[in-house]
Amino acid sequence: MSTNAERVVRDFLTAWPRKNVDELMSFFAPDAVYHNVPVQPLVGSAAIRGAFQGFCDMMNEGIELDVLHVVSNGDVVMAERIDRFRWNGRRLDLPVCGVFEVRAGKIVKFRDYFNYPSWYEATGAPL
């Protein structure tokens, strides 16, 4: 049985292929923290929006998040997935594990764990 927090996270992950940054941001509290664990965390809507816009702009041929497993306990949700990025005839299938904390129906903390060198070698783009 899924929790409300799990539903929020699943809906957020499902929204990525549409690359609508306003929609993606609608899942977040204004003071949320987004941390791609190999780099510094981003705090607040403006910083998170900038990162999401950068992903959407760069991945001009598509973004798909293939969710493999979801585990939730109260307001904490973990989602193992393969993030599939497509841009300029290139592709990267990146294994990722995300940890989300949800309060009052909004994501307040989002941490993604992945192999940063795999991202950088494929894209040449720092996060």
Q: Where are the domains of the chain?
A: 4-123
pLDDT per residue of the chain (127 residues) written in tens, 0 to 9: 457 999 999 999 999 999 999 999 999 999 999 999 988 999 999 999 999 999 999 999 999 999 999 999 999 999 999 999 999 999 999 999 999 999 999 999 999 999 887 878 878 776 6
Token code pair at residue 8? 């929020």
Three-state secondary structure string covering the chain: CCCHHHHHHHHHHHHHHHCCHHHHHCCEEEEEEEEECCCCCEECHHHHHHHHHHHHHHCCCEEEEEEEEEEEECCEEEEEEEEEEEECCEEEEEEEEEEEEEECCEEEEEEEECCHHHHHHHHCCCC
pTM attached to this predicted model: 0.92
pLDDT at position 119, please? 79
How much of the chain exceeds pLDDT 90, in percent? Answer: 84
Candidate CATH numbers 3.20.20.70, 2.30.30.790, 3.10.450.50, 3.30.70.360; the one for domain 4-123 = 3.10.450.50
